[in-house]
Chains A and B, each alone.
Chain A
Amino acid sequence: MSGVQHSPDAAMPLDTARGAHGVQPALWYTAALALLALLLPFLEGVPVIGWLASPFQRIQLTYGLVFSIAALAFNLLLGYTGLLSFGHAAFFGGAAYAAGLLVKYLHVYSMEGFLLAGLTSATVLAAVFGSVCVRYTRIFFSILTLALSQVLWALALKFFWITNGTDGLSIPTPILLGGLVGTAGDKVRFLSFTYYYYVLFIFFICVAVMGVIAASPFGKALQAIRDNEVRAQFVGIGVRRYRWYAFVISGAFTGVAGALFAPLNGLTTPDILHWTFSGKIVFMTVLGGFKSFIGPILGGVAYNYLETYVIKTTEYWQMLLGIILVALVLVMPQGIVGVFAWGSRRERRNR
């Protein structure tokens, strides 16, 4: 569907306003992928896709899903509201640190506790940062978000007796659902099976909720602000207030991702608070395609594979990232999603 260039929700299965033409295949792909993800742990040894089902690969995918949540949340601001934040590490890292501090000081090992602490701290941080940042747009907004998040990074380093400085806080295997599901002693088994499913379900919830937000009247108002601030004002939308709402919602979901990341990584170090980590979230989103709803999902997963496999093979990893980013912006601004949409357009034309 040619709408991909114009509307950020063109590739989104939830928007029933789109012609059945574009929606049906997208829905099918989504359903197929979801099913594959659900069955994955049982597909070991199956030809073609069996390699994806190994415990190592499932942990990789878990990382990818966590990044996808963060990228989706980030894109509520970039793709939908038109604000480029360079401070999302603060919400991701802030939430992960909240989990770490919960362990260190309150000896809480409950995953739901981590999530609650992460969500709350990210929301509060976003509410405070947002109240300053949404007064500005464009480069000023970006720089302010970057600066504020760097303050948090510096604090994490300075208050080392609380945060353990560069060593970071270690996160033990958490208790899921109050011990209802297996807390097997085997860490790999835990992460690649129990925790994989845990993350997968939260991922589904996040995608569904953010999908509805994006297609809600509120989400449309954000897109209106992105497209034309003056006109948004002249249909009666409180532009600054809505930007703040978007900022807080985006920060909150990024916090969910950060809380999920903490036990997966087993450690929270200041680098997930650093602005370069914000840059990674930007990168994932652009890689997947910030003009569609599902783009950041693909971007998060793809980015993780890039990092895992490319970082091993080259010492020019950072440079490679830069080159990819330049190529993306210049040649395929629609990201991975754009390539798929282009492919399906060609296919249809050839029929």
Chain B
Amino acid sequence: MPLLFAQGLRKSFGETRAVDGVDFFVESEELVSLVGSNGAGKTTLVNLLSGLLVPDAGSIAFQDTDITAVPVRDRIRAGIARSFQLVNLFDQLSALDNVRLAIFSRDGTTRQVLRLAERNRPAREEALEVLRDFGLEDKWDTPAAGLAQGERKLLDVALAYALRPKLILLDEPTSGVGTREKGTIMDAVAQLVRERFLAAVIVEHDMDVVFAYSHRIVMMHQGKVLAEGTPEQIRADERVAAALLGKA
């Protein structure tokens, strides 16, 4: 069985069938790109996999365990982390504290009530290291609200990364960031997949990025999977070309 295995997923919002019978899997150490035009259902699929939404039908298994109805917190424990298309950060907390919270939570130390967070040196060092990985070390003391848009996007991904998941779901991690930062994010993710034997699902519009980094590409259209394959196969697929042209 693959690391993550979803079958027959459906989710409707009123009349809109956002996800309409999708089968989806991710192998360990695999980097899968999820592509498709606006409104194709990519975010909704990520929401179903991460537990933000409950599917109307279908099932999701992670490491051979059914997690279809498992709450978010337990999915995080199991090793599924995500970032957000629309940045979700702790705005009044410093970049360091944002990352540190992920680390505290992962280690179960958020239960410490009578110990200064600052006293936990290893957590501080690790958080600074994560910030360094994302080129944010100079901004460690800046509240998240005070960061530039691109930096906020980086920090959003860094939070998911700091949880040391087995599977990381990144919803448009490079949208709205500069070309150089795009490389930073994608390199960090690709490195993670390689070094930490992690799997990643990346929702991405930039096809150059998609072709450069993915092991496999899944293309969605109107809630359904339209095409699936290696970058070479997808490049050659006429339906994909048509759908992409339709979008452009």
Contacts and interface: CB of A to CB of B under 8 A. Distances in A.
Interface of A: 3, 6-8, 14-19, 209, 212-213, 215-221, 223-224, 226-228, 230-238, 242, 249
A16 B94 CA distance: 13
A238 B73 contact: yes
Interface string B59-96: 00000000000001100110001101000111111101
Contacts of A249: 113
Given A212-B115, A216-B114, A217-B120, A235 B102 contact: yes
A81 B25 CA distance: 38
Given A220-B101, A221-B105, A237-B105, A7 B118 contact: no
A221 to B, nearest CB: 4
B116 A212 contact: yes
A228 B89 contact: yes
B96 A220 contact: no
A212 B112 CA distance: 10
A231 B114 CA distance: 24
Contacts of A212: 114-116
A209 B96 CA distance: 24
A119 to B, nearest CB: 16
Interface stretch (B139-147, B188-196, B208-216): B139-147
B116 to A, nearest CB: 5
Contact of A7 (B77, B93, B113, B163): B93
Those 5 A-B pairs whose CB atoms lie nearest each other, nearest first: A6-B143, A236-B76, A227-B90, A231-B88, A221-B110
B43 interface: no
B100 A220 contact: yes
B111 interface: yes
A14 B115 CA distance: 11
Contacts of A216: 112-117
A234 B92 CA distance: 17
Contacts of B101: 217, 220-221, 224, 232, 235, 237
Give the dominant DSSP class at A's interface: helix
B113 A231 contact: no
A212 B115 CA distance: 7
Given A16-B118, A216-B117, A228 B146 contact: no
A235 B163 contact: yes
Interface in B129-181: 141, 143, 145-146, 159-160, 163
Contacts of B106: 235-236
A218 B112 contact: yes
A217 B114 contact: no
A5 to B, nearest CB: 8
Contact of A227 (B73, B81, B91, B160): B91
A213 B104 CA distance: 15
Contacts of A19: 141
Contacts of A217: 101, 104, 109-112, 115, 117, 120, 123
B50 interface: yes
Nearest to A230: B88
B20 interface: no
B117 A231 contact: no
Contacts of B120: 217
B115 A3 contact: no
Nearest to B123: A217
Contacts of B96: 17
Contact of A231 (B90, B100, B118): B90
11 contacts: A3-B143, A15-B118, A18-B141, A19-B141, A213-B113, A217-B117, A220-B100, A226-B92, A230-B88, A235-B76, A236-B163
Contacts of A237: 73, 101, 105, 110
B50 A234 contact: yes
Contacts of B110: 217-218, 220-221, 237, 242
A234 B104 contact: no
Nearest to B100: A220
A215 B114 contact: no
Nearest to B110: A221
A233 B92 contact: no
Nearest to A225: B90
Contacts of B97: 17, 220, 223
B94 A234 contact: no
A305 to B, nearest CB: 30
Nearest to B124: A17
Contacts of B143: 3, 6-7
Contact of B77 (A17, A215, A236): A236
B165 to A, nearest CB: 10
A7 B94 CA distance: 8
Contacts of A228: 88-91
B217 to A, nearest CB: 25
Given A223-B93, A231-B84, A235-B163, 11 more contacts: A6-B146, A16-B116, A216-B117, A217-B110, A217-B111, A221-B104, A226-B92, A234-B50, A235-B76, A236-B163, A237-B110
